[in-house]
Amino acid sequence: PKELPLKGKKVVVTAGPTRERIDPVRFLTNFSSGKMGYAMAEAAASLGAETILISGPVSLSPPPNVTLVSVESAKEMLDAVLLHFDTATMVVKTAAVADYKPKEVHSQKMKKQPGESVIVLERTTDILLELGKRKKDQLLIGFAAETNDVIHYAKSKLDKKNADYIIANDVTEEGSGFGTDTNAVTLVGKNIEQYFGHQTKKVLALQLLQTIIQLEKDDAK
């Protein structure tokens, strides 16, 4: 892009899955590859932003002109995000953060036992909700991966989490969601509900940020 509308602004992007340890050799996670989040970070940097990419474990190289902060668990991601939140202009929460973690992390490898085994889970902190509570003038953009009633859930997340936009991702659609190079999403905000059809995550990321920047400009008028 010729224009650099995010020049002088700090954008924090989270990407990838988190890992919640069970014991030294096992963990709970999900299928996020980090591709969507890395594309959002690349788009932010290409629009001129000082970009901090806070990433769970993925096998991608960071885009150019982005500061990578590697984390493992939801707790580490929360701490890293909070470190940058006060000075951020925009926070984009693309990461698929674990909602639950094992209540007990075993210090030794768990041994096989006869019969069934139970791992008790407890809730992690909802990072987006926490940011929504602390928000001053940061623009807060969440993602929502859903398998049904996508727009309905996105709208309720917008309110509950005090976010400015939710990017709703129907992960049952062919060629969209976890792991793929392409995606299709709906941008949901107070005054907008716009569908973005299938395209590469990189192209989509740029379109989403440019649309949001334009909406905010119009809003400020």
> Annotated binding site for CTP: which residue ranges?
99, 109, 143, 157, 161
Separation between Cα atoms, residue 185 and residue 175, nearest integer Å? 11
Q: Radius of gyration over alpha carbons of the chain, in Å? A: 18
Residue with Cβ nearer ligand PMT (50 or 142): 142
56, 102, 132, 142: which one binds ligand PMT (CB under 6 A): 142
Residue type, 73: S
Residue 162 known to be catalytic: no
Q: Kindly state whether residue 36 participates in binding ligand PMT, applying the rule CB under 6 A.
A: yes
Give the Cβ contact number of residue 171 at 10 Å: 17
Residue nearest ligand PMT, CB atom distance: 127
Q: Which stretch in 26-34, 59-67, 103-111, 210-218 sits in contact with ligand PMT by CB under 6 A?
A: 26-34
Q: Kindly state whether residue 53 participates in binding ligand PMT, applying the rule CB under 6 A.
A: no
Residue with Cβ nearer ligand PMT (110 or 125): 125
The least distance separating ligand PMT from the CB of residue 99, rounded to whole angstroms, comes to 5
The least distance separating ligand PMT from the CB of residue 216, rounded to whole angstroms, comes to 19
Separation between Cα atoms, residue 186 and residue 176, nearest integer Å? 12
- 146, 170 Cβ separation under 8 angstroms: yes
Among 135, 67, 123, 119, which residue's Cα sits nearest to residue 97? 123
Q: Which residues are annotated as a binding site?
A: 99, 109, 143, 157, 161
10, 27, 32, 62: which one binds ligand PMT (CB under 6 A): 32
Residue with Cβ nearer ligand PMT (173 or 216): 173
Q: What mask of x and - would describe binding to ligand PMT in positions 75 to 114, judged by CB under 6 A?
A: ------------------xxxxx-x---------------
Q: Coil, strand, or helix at residue 13?
A: strand
Residue with Cβ nearer ligand PMT (25 or 192): 192
Take residue 30 and report the two structure tokens written for it.
């999900």
Separation between Cα atoms, residue 89 and residue 87, nearest integer Å? 7
Residue that is written with structure tokens 């999403």 in the block: 185
- 17, 29 Cβ separation under 8 angstroms: yes
Judged by CB under 6 A, how many residues of this single chain contact ligand PMT? 26
Separation between Cα atoms, residue 210 and residue 221, nearest integer Å? 17
Separation between Cα atoms, residue 145 and residue 127, nearest integer Å? 15
Question: What residues are annotated to the active site?
Answer: 30
Residues engaged in binding ligand PMT (CB under 6 A): 32-37, 74, 93-97, 99, 124, 126-128, 142-145, 169, 171, 177-179
